[in-house]
Amino acid sequence: MPTETRKPKERLVVVGNGMASLRFLERLTERAPGRFDVSVVGAEPVAAYNRVLLSSLLGGEVDEAACGFRPLPWYEEHGIRLVTGAPVTEIDRANRLAIVGSAHVLPYDRLVLAVGSLPIRLPLPGIDLPGVLTFRDFADVAAIRKAAVEHAKAVVIGGGLLGLEAAVGLARLGVDTTLVHVMDRVMERQLDHTAARLVRAAMEARGVKVMLSANTAAIEGEGKVERLRMKDGSVIPADLVVMSVGIRASTALAQSCGLACGRGITVDDRMTTSDPAVFALGECAEHRGFVYGLVEPAYEQAEVLARHLVGEQATYPGTSLATSLKVSGLPVFSAGVVDTPEGAEAVVMHDASAGLYRKLIIADGCLLGAVFVGDISEQARCKALIRDRTPLDPNDRDDLMFGPAPTSLAA
């Protein structure tokens, strides 16, 4: 009898081993264990870890081991070849090769780019002085902790989420920390003025000095950071400056091999790039003009791509943006629009003494946006109403503002 010839496995190479990459691998191996010959290449010397915990790591609340997701044996058990500490330096699309370092070559049938993003460094005078750092990975945390010696003065530039987390982490170390932000409120993309004031108060209660509408002109010092000079002429002493002013998609590798890129690597609803054998997801991907710098969209994209590669019908329509987190221990949630547009109605509850704030923004009978501080228990319902544009029923306002009434009372 003729012997049955086995079809060789498709060779799948994943470039990047961050949170998006790992979620994709988890979903892929759940759906089709053993179907692909998988290689994963990460530039960092460790396997994927939880970047959300970097502030806690900086502040000494957790160690690196507590930030890890899957131990190394998990990759081996699932037939995944893991390469760490060696970035992919070139992609040869004509011959379908991923070149690692200067010599190692990985052939592929399908290639997934999950290369994340890079921290933005403002083009300021003095930006290259020793002591100017960013806050994105384990190496950054180690560098900041090394620089944050006793009696050091630290300045964090940037009042977005990462900037606040860096400042809180430094304050936990006992470092004299000042946060400077060019806008008139912290987290202006996620919070209105009232919610931002509550978050600022929580930061200050943790020992962080917050300076708003503060525009940095230069970083100065003789051979190392010594001070920040602001555009109004004032000076802030500093031994350490943490630059946390945003991120940009990592597109250099994709551009170098001729893939279509805008602000990120351009993908369609199946996360396919301009090359049908190459896919992208996470912070490096641009979908319908959007580049998401958040975990939730990356996880949704990972789910869609895993399903697509195993032959299931799956498309990514985009993500309705929402933020749910703790800032200085204070629960914060926002979704949809933050500031009330003309013609819309704002329903507000504010108890400053209890640190509670809720705002619903309603227009044409639908929920456009929500901002909660202190108690975010109705966040899932708000997200669904905003995403689906579901008309509010008569009880929704009270339920969203105060929580559903107990069953006995409702009856």
Is 405's pLDDT higher than 60?
no
Please report the beta strands in 136-233, taking only residues with DSSP state E, as ranges in sequence order.
153-157, 176-180, 208-211, 216-220, 227-230
Residue 3 pLDDT class (50, 70, 90 cuts): low
**What mean pLDDT is predicted for residues 129-139?**
96
What is the structure's pLDDT at 168?
92
Residue 411 pLDDT class (50, 70, 90 cuts): very low
What is the structure's pLDDT at 408?
43
Quote the pTM value.
0.91
**Of 38-47, 177-186, 318-327, the least confident:** 318-327
**What mean pLDDT is predicted for residues 121-125?**
96
More confident call, 242 vs 325 = 242
State the Cα–Cα distance between residues 139 and 85, nearest whole angstrom.
12
Residue by residue, DSSP assigns 28-93 as HHHHSTTSEEEEEEESSSS--B-GGGHHHHHTTSS-HHHHB-S-HHHHHHTTEEEEES--EEEEET
Is 99's pLDDT higher than 60?
yes
For 346-378, the pLDDT digits (tens) are 999 999 888 899 999 999 999 999 999 999 999
What is the structure's pLDDT at 396?
87
**What mean pLDDT is predicted for residues 34-42?**
97
Q: Is 41 left (phi over 0), alpha (psi -120 to 50) or beta?
A: beta
State the Cα–Cα distance between residues 322 and 333, nearest whole angstrom.
7
Is 393's pLDDT higher than 60?
yes
Is 31's pLDDT higher than 60?
yes
Residue 409 pLDDT class (50, 70, 90 cuts): very low
What is the structure's pLDDT at 406?
55
Contact call for residues 263 and 249 (beta carbons, < 8 A) = yes
Contact call for residues 363 and 341 (beta carbons, < 8 A) = yes
Task: Write down all domains in the chain, each with its CATH number in brackets.
Answer: 10-116+250-310 (3.50.50.60), 119-246 (3.50.50.60), 331-402 (3.30.390.30)
**Of 37-41, 129-133, 150-154, the least confident:** 150-154
More confident call, 298 vs 328 = 298
**What mean pLDDT is predicted for residues 191-203?**
94
* Averaged pLDDT score across all residues of the chain: 93
Is 115's pLDDT higher than 70?
yes
**What mean pLDDT is predicted for residues 109-129?**
97
Residues of the chain with pLDDT > 90: what percent?
A: 85
What is the structure's pLDDT at 4?
53
What is the structure's pLDDT at 318?
94
Is 41's pLDDT higher than 70?
yes
Based on DSSP, count helices (H) and strands (E) in the chain, helices before strands.
12, 25
- Residue 54 in tokens: 């970097």
What is the structure's pLDDT at 407?
46
Within a 10 A sphere around the Cβ of 76, how many other Cβ atoms? Answer: 11
**What mean pLDDT is predicted for residues 277-302?**
96
What is the structure's pLDDT at 5?
57
Task: Please list, residue by residue across 349-366, b when 16 or more beta carbons sit within 10 angstroms of its beta carbon and e when fewer do.
Answer: eeeeeebebbbbbbeeeb
